[in-house]
Each structure stands twice: as C-alpha cells, then as structure tokens.
Amino acid sequence: MRILLIGAGGVGNAIAKILARRSFYESVVVSDYDQGRAQAAVDWIAERHGAEVAARFTATRIDASDSGSVAEVAKAAGATHVMNAVEPKFVESIFAGARDAGADYLDMAMSLSHPHPTDPYAQTGVKLGDAQFAEADEWQAAGRLALVGIGVEPGLSDVFARYAADELFSEIDELGTRDGANLVVRDDEGNEIFAPSFSIWTTIEECLNPPVVWEKERGWYTTPPFSEPEVFDFPEGIGPVECVNVEHEEVLLMPRWVDAKRVTFKYGLGEEFIGVLKTLHLLGLDSTAPLRVRSAAGPVEVAPRDVVAASLPDPATIGPRMTGKTCAGLWVTGTGKDGAHREVYLYHVADNEWTMREYQSQCVVWQTALNPAIALELLATGAWQGSGVLGPEAFPAQPFLELMARPEAEGGYGQAWGLREH
C-alpha cells in the first residue's frame, strides 16, 4: 500500500504520526498546499522515530482544489490509496483526482450539501455525499473503492452501528450519534478563551446548515438548526452536556446499510458556542461568497467565513492550552437478541493530556485521525474489501473494533472502546 495523504493540518498531521507507529504500508507521501507544513510532519517523525521510519515518508506540495494536481501527485507517488484530510469543500476535486489516478480513496467528511431552495427546514436539497454516491456505479465498474466518512464522526459511530446490528440487537428503533466533551482552552493568563477544537470552517458548515433526520416511514427530512435539545450524560467524567441536532454524515450513511427506524446526530455544542454561531450567521460572517474589501494594497475579494477561520487559533496548535476529554459514540435503542428492550451507548473517549504526551496532537484531531489509520490497515490486510462508494457500515465491525482495542504491544492500537447499558 502506497498512501498519498492530502492535508498536513491538525488531522493530517495526526494521521502521519499514527501511521509512523505502524508497518502495514510501503510509503506515505504527506502533501499540503504549504509544503513546509507537510515537511514539518515528516521532520517530527524523523525526530521521534528515527531515520529508518522517516524514510518511508516524504513531503510534497499539492493543490487540493485542482483535480488535475491531485491526479498528478497521486500518479507520481504511485499511490494506491488517497487519504483526504482537508476541509470538505475540497472533497469533490480530491475524489475526482483519485479516480483519475486509478487509486482508492478515503475521506472523513463527504461532499457538501445545499439546502432546499424553498423549504430548507423541512425538506432536503442536495444532501451530504450526493455528489459522491452519484458516481458509485463508475467506481464499482472500475473495481475501485471510495470509503467515505471514516473519521471519528462520521466513522466510529458508523462502525458501532454495524456492530450493534450484527451483535447486539434483533431490531433497532434508533441509531443516535451523541458526541460531547468537557474541553477547555485557556490563554497565557489562564483565562478560558473561545478556540474551537476543530476547523471553524467545517463547524459553521455543519452547525448552521439544516440538520438532517432519517425515519423509516418518512425518509430524510430537515429541521431548523440547534433543534430538539436534550441533555446526554457522557462517560468517563465528562458528565451531562446539552446536545442539539446538527447536520452530519452519519444520518446520510447509516440508513443505506443498517436497518433502523430512526437515525439522528446530536452534538454537545454548549450555550456559548451556539451563541457565537448564531451571531456569525446574523452578521453574514458564515458566508462563503467572496466580498470586495478595501485594503492598504487595494481592493481584494475575501469570503467572510475564511476571515473568521483566519482570526481564530489554528486547532492544530491549541493542544498545549487545552484540558479535558472528548467522547464520540452511538446511543442505540431497540430489541436485544433476547427479545427484550435494550438501550446501549457505544463510545470512545480521548484524553487531551494523553494525546499530547504521546503524539503532540490535541485530542479532537487525534481521535479523528485514529479511525482512517485503522481502516487503511484493514484494507491493506484484506480484512476489509469492497468496491464502489461505501460507508464504514458496509464492512464488518468486529475486525475494526478488535484491532482498535488490542494493545499496541500485541499489534493493535491500544484504544479501548466502551459499552454502557442504559
């Protein structure tokens, strides 16, 4: 397996660091629009793991917005797999570039949605991933695999959904992804500051778009942003967090392969975060349409959302200022294998103190990076096989969860996952 990793920001950097501890691949080309950022990831690996490990890694420049550039770099690298680790606005160009290069493809977020033009808070328009699923037959005919939505979310909850259907339930009423955290970021004086732990560009896209819900009798439909609030009690000391509906890929993926009556995604944003997002929307600062702005160098065009992203700390750099844990998981209700009602929460928790100590990566980006690394290894060994455009639910969950939890000393990733009965 020869991997082209596109993006050396927080998540891409963490993927490279995780892969440095593994041996299932032949080479990894770390690429970024800023080649210096890609080289920094390779240099870290050399410093931490030595020249022999680093010899399998190289750095190069790529323009993720140009499918031709993606195909050219992939072909030059002899890539068998293209791992997309950049913002979802680049999904379609990277997806096309990987296809043109004859490589398999993985991502952690799918092609962007567009709200219904006249009834956005009741009906879906263009859904997340529609552009990719429209090419499923072409990928399958070519014998190539596009594994979409294999980050932490989407990704891990999708694996949990397959596991719940196969091992725990005879009938599923609801698959409800529930994510939350107790993370705090502080400035040099110790004051808590507003510093999102993930790309604000992506966060705005997810949280201000109409959330999607799926019901067996109704199909996919939308609600207003931040709808249906509920308090969910997260494990391992995180505690109760208010969660709200958010647009996310799990709802678009799970119903395609797992039989359930209802599928939802709710995220613990918190009152302050919701207030900031509402203000950005009110002021039009969530827009991606460029505005003409006067500057000292003359008029320039800039998208308001890009300005917001540039004004906030880079999520990849806030780890030393962060404390707490983040939890990703799936709440499942239905009928157990014994015929009795059952409710469980399947989850994984990442502690920022541990991820910083082990990888110098903050816990949210590291947890996101863990799952594509596991998936790549399963594809390399043949434990996962397929063609077309597939989500994690299309593959057996047991090999993933076993490899994830097995201790590192025994060839696994040493990341225990939990099952809490409700």
What confidence tens digit (pLDDT) does each residue in 288-311 have? 888 888 877 788 888 888 888 888
Residues 329 and 344 both lie in one domain: yes
Residues 110 and 195 both lie in one domain: no
pLDDT at 200 over 80: no
Q: Which three-class secondary structure state does DSSP give residue 223?
A: coil
* Residue 406 banded pLDDT, cuts 50, 70, 90: very high
For residue 32, give the nearest of 56, 51, 13, 55 by alpha carbon: 13
Least confident of 56-60, 183-187, 190-194, 409-413: 190-194
Which of 363, 387, 411 is the C-terminal boundary of a domain?
363
Which of 325, 340, 363 is the C-terminal boundary of a domain?
363
What average pLDDT score do residues 307-330 get?
Answer: 86
Residues 118 and 14 both lie in one domain: yes
Taken in order 382, 388, 389, 390, is the CA torsion positive or negative? Answer: negative
Element (H, E) at 162: helix 156-163
Residues 178 and 232 both lie in one domain: yes
Average pLDDT, the chain: 94
What average pLDDT score do residues 351-375 get?
Answer: 96
Residues 265 and 370 both lie in one domain: no
Radius of gyration of the chain (CA): 21
Integer Cα distance of 155 and 36 in angstroms: 29
pLDDT at 263 over 80: yes
Which residue range is the domain that position 77 belongs to? 2-152+365-421
Cis ω before 240 (30° cut-off from 0) = no
Residues 294 and 382 both lie in one domain: no
Report the CATH number at residue 284: 3.30.360.10
What average pLDDT score do residues 127-148 get?
Answer: 98
Least confident of 48-52, 145-149, 151-155, 283-287: 283-287
Residues 117 and 235 both lie in one domain: no
Residues 334 and 210 both lie in one domain: yes
Question: What six digits make up the tokens of 419?
Answer: 């099952």
Q: Packing angle between helix 156-163 and helix 249-257, nearest 10 degrees?
A: 30
pLDDT at 12 over 80: yes
What average pLDDT score do residues 226-243 get?
Answer: 94
> How does DSSP classify residue 167?
I
Report the CATH number at residue 68: 3.40.50.720
Residues 384 and 359 both lie in one domain: no
CB contact set of 307 (below 8 Å; sequence gap of 6+): 285
CB 268 within 8 A of CB 242: yes
pLDDT at 45 over 90: yes
Residues 316 and 219 both lie in one domain: yes
Place of tokens 């928790």: 349
What average pLDDT score do residues 260-281 get?
Answer: 88
- pLDDT of 317 reads 80
The total number of structural domains that make up the chain: 2
Identify any residues that bridge with 346 across adjacent strands, giving them in sequence order: 330, 419
Residues 275 and 382 both lie in one domain: no
For residue 141, count other CB atoms closer than 10 A to its CB: 10
* Residue 266 banded pLDDT, cuts 50, 70, 90: very high
Integer Cα distance of 41 and 54 in angstroms: 10
CB 213 within 8 A of CB 262: yes
Residues 36 and 91 both lie in one domain: yes
pTM of the model: 0.92
Listed in order, strand segments (DSSP E) in 93-136 are: 104-106
